[in-house]
Amino acid sequence: MTFSAMHLVVMGVAGAGKSTVAEALSRDLGWAMAEADEFHPQANISKMNSGTPLDDSDRWPWLNAIRDWMTSQARAGQCTVLTCSALKTDYRELLSGAEGRVVFLHLDGEPGLLAERMQGRAGHFMPVTLLPSQLATLEPLTPAELAGGSLRLEITRTPEQLIAEIKASLGLSGGPGTGRPPKA
């Protein structure tokens, strides 16, 4: 059987806990990890720092860079865990073009809890004032995405509970370095 990479895209609006869950998954599975924020050009970061929401013309080059990174990791024999807001179906379709299987893990929660979490974090360029625009942009996972293995996860649960659900739902075994994707 040939190796087929799996890419777990931990998605959702700011404050959902994407980094926390992705770091724990990466550590548990022994998979390569990246933060989508690392792929933003400085112009996007400056725009968000000023409180201006990004538009699609800002996002397409960023999303292409993320997809290309996932493909390069797959070609190197690596499965990945990635944080990315992936707010629109079109964005997720583009990311799904990466080599390997792309699964979206939507961390979802109430706006008040998201804002509270955003206010409690330090050193992030996304201000709380942009949360309403992210929530307005968010398109929930489609029935086809859910049927393909993507998951909607409630953020009121602990990271440990979320990791356990993700691994069980996707048939992933645990332990660092042992988290190979299930056999096709």
Could you read off the pLDDT of 118-133 as tens digits, one per residue? 665 555 455 666 677 7
Question: pTM, whole model, 2 decimals?
Answer: 0.85
CB 97 within 8 A of CB 21: no
**Which of these ranges, 50-54, 135-139, 163-167, has the smallest mean pLDDT?**
50-54
Determine phi and psi for 33, rounding to 5 degrees: -135, 145
pLDDT in tens, 76-124: 999 999 999 999 999 999 999 999 999 999 999 876 767 676 665 555 4
Question: Under 8 Å CB-to-CB from 170, ≥6 apart: which residues?
Answer: 6, 8, 103, 149, 151, 181, 182
Residue spans per domain, the chain? 6-169
CB 4 within 8 A of CB 101: yes
What superfamily in CATH does domain 6-169 come from?
A: P-loop containing nucleotide triphosphate hydrolases (3.40.50.300)
Hey, what are 10's tokens?
């931990």
Amino acid at 14: A
